[in-house]
Amino acid sequence: MTETILIHFSGRDRPGLTAELTSILASYDTCVLDIGQAVVHETLSLGLLVEIPRGESFRGVQDALVARSRELGLQVNFTAVAKADLEEWISSQGKDQFIVTVLGRAISANLPWGG
C-alpha cells in the first residue's frame, strides 16, 4: 500500500534548496502530488504532498530528508495524510479556485469593516 505524506520545510532561503530536497525524493521514486512554496523576508516555507511507492520504506526517505535538512539548516516536519483526506483533496481538483493578490505600500492587519 502506498503512503501519502505532507512534508514541510522551513528556514532561511537560498538558491537550490528545492532542487536539493526533490532530488532525494526522486532517488526513492517518490511521486510529488502537490507542491507549494512561499518566501517571506528570506524565510522559506516549502510544502510537498508526496506518495511513497509500494515497496519503498518511508523511514528511508524520512531519514535522508532529515539528515539533508540538518545540513542545510532547515526544519522539517512530516504528517501522514489519511486516505479519506487525500480522496477529498483529489475530488476538489478541477473546481474553481481563486488567488487574490493585494498590493500596497502597507497592508494593515486591522479589518476596516470591523471584523
For 66-95, write each residue's pLDDT tens digit.
999 999 999 999 998 888 777 777 777 777
Out of 12-16, 27-31, 71-75, 106-110, least confident range: 106-110
Q: pTM of the predicted model, to two decimals?
A: 0.77
Q: Are 67 and 30 in contact (CB under 8 A)?
A: no
- C-alpha 30/C-alpha 20 separation (Å) is 14
86, containing H or E segment: helix 83-92
pLDDT given for residue 65 in this prediction: 96
Architecture of the CATH domain 3-92: 2-Layer Sandwich (3.30)
Query: For the chain, what percent of residues have pLDDT higher than 70?
Result: 89
Going from N- to C-terminal start, the domains of the chain cover 3-92
